[in-house]
Structure 1
Amino acid sequence: MSSEQSAIPNVNVSLETHLILALEPLLPITDTALSTQLAQYLSGPEGIIPYNILLSVSRWSRSPAGSSALRACSLPLDPNSYLMISLLAGTTTSPDRKFGLYEPQEPEQLAAQTKRERKAITTIINGVFSVIGSGAAAWIGSERTNWRQEWRILFALFVAVVVAISETVLYIIWQSRSSSAKTTKMRRLIRAKKEDKENSDHLNTNTTNEEAHHNGLRLRVQTKSTT
């Protein structure tokens, strides 16, 4: 039971109008614990209800006692209306949480990323052709060695494997250098943004100090002229 409860997501769901209308008739017919929890959130000002309470309602409605209680109401209620897919329809998950703003990449970064992807695909295709070409060349070149077919096949496979390993190593080296260069560029960009922000704050501080100094001089001049 504990493992089942730990699998339940600890999130809230927005308490929409249709959800309130669906849950209010359950207050007098559900068990005491569930009815107390429902009343607490239905009358609360937060406008949210935990997901696990809705899950408990759904499980109760599918139990024999819950189905009988729903059908025994003065206006019979449909147990299918309390399935999770019905309860969660039209609601918002975690409306009380603040998620970070999405910051789209700059067009230059997108263009550079597309260029790197195309270059990587081209490198992989060239490597595949190199492996196939080297194997075919080894097979054709061994034709005059009077080797048996089995030895020629093994020789061609050996050459292809060696070329494939070398191409893989070269691709890994190229990929690592590309990643390190990208990381260095991002660090420089972050550092430049930080320096620009510090310079902007410094300029704003200097401007404020200059304005305060001019205002002080103006007040002194006005005071002297008044006296």
Structure 2
Amino acid sequence: MSNSNASELNISLEPHLWDALAPLPSLLPPALKSGLTPYLSNPKPATIPYNVLQEISQWSRTTAGSASLQSHRPPLQPQSYTMIALLAGTTTSPERKFGKYVPKKEPDEVEARNASERKTVTALVNALLSIVGAGVATWWAADKTGWRNEWRVLFALFVAIVVAIAEAGLYLIWQSRRSPMKSASQTRRSIAAARHKKEDDISTLPGPDIKPTGKKTNETANLRQRR
């Protein structure tokens, strides 16, 4: 990650990280000490800049830094100040509000949605035609009964209402059968969004700037202790 991007990142100042940094002000060079001291005050800040941790990590790997850490009582291990150890158990930029990721829909899902919309429109048009047709047919058939126009209108409206209720019931049944299919599709998209978010969280975490030390046993033990 570039320095410009790293300078914009903050790291959550967890209790174990604060405890690891607390002994350092008396050991650090003046420039690093002035950068770290504000974040060790009370009340404890919620975050600490990534650059501050990176500079401390780089200093701990120098000859002077390693000697200063060893001179502390009790001695401090340089492996405790690698970026891996410092960032363990922390959150990158917890103050930021990231938008919810909406995964791109698959072509077959888009086609299925379009087909579903066409079916819905067709069903509504058919229902409307059925209602109007039933009313008109009833009006025409009632003409053979010799009823007055008022009764013919009322009878046609009654039949149209009955047909409308039937069409509404059929539409609700059809919609209820589609709901499980929509729920399954939304579940797949939620899983994809969660997977993408996890990958983003890993990719946004700055890579540790460390050099091989050959002391894997001590560093592994230190990481286990911090967890």
TM-score band by shorter chain is 0.3 to 0.5
| Higher RCO structure, 1 or 2 (CA under 8 Å, sep 6+) | 2
Length-normalised TM-score, structure 1 = 0.43
Structure (1 or 2) with the greater helix fraction: 1
